[in-house]
Amino acid sequence: MIYRKINTNLSDFVMIDKITKIDDKTIWSEKYFHELKHYKAIEFLAQTGAFHLRYINKFNKHVFLLSVSSFKYTNNECLSGKYQLEGEISAKSDFACSYKFTCKIGSCEKITGDFMFALKNYDNVYKKNILKPYYKKVFYVY
C-alpha cells in the first residue's frame, strides 16, 4: 500500500488528503469533507485523475481536465466525513485519457463521475523545469 500525503499550501482548495494506493490503471484516494457542497467535489475527482496521469507518465507531461461527461450524487446533503475515491482508466491514448470515478463513504456509494483529461508535452508556456518539480513536491513523490 502506498501512502502519500498531499500538501498544496493553499487555503480553501479541495485537494485530496492522501493517495492510499496507485498502479498503472487505478488510483485510490481519500478526502475528509466538512459540510461541502457536492459540486465542489468535482475538484477532488479532477485532482485525483490529474495526479494519476502525471504519476504514470513520470511527471513528464502536463495534464488538463478536458470534460466532465457525468457527475452524479445520491442526494442534496452536504458532504461530511471521510470519503474514499477510486479512479480507474476507462480509455487512454497518447493525448487523452478517460476515467470512471466512484466515491464512497464507508460502503455507501455517494458520487460517480466520468472525466476526460488531456496530456500535453511541456513547452515554453507550461515549463517542464518549473512544473515537473512543483508537482513532484506537491505530491511528495521523489
Instruction: Enter the C-alpha cell of residue 38.
Output: 457536492
Contact by Cβ (8 Å): 19, 28 = yes
Digitized pLDDT (tens) for each residue of the chain, 142 residues in all:
455 555 544 455 567 888 999 999 999 999 998 888 888 889 999 999 999 999 999 999 999 999 999 999 988 888 899 999 999 999 999 999 999 999 999 999 999 999 999 999 999 999 999 999 988 887 765 3
CATH superfamily placement of domain 4-124: Hotdog Thioesterase (3.10.129.10)
Assess contact for 71 and 48: CB atoms under 8 A. no
Return the DSSP state at 78.
P
Decide: 73 and 38 in contact? Cβ < 8 Å: yes
pTM (whole model) above 0.75: yes
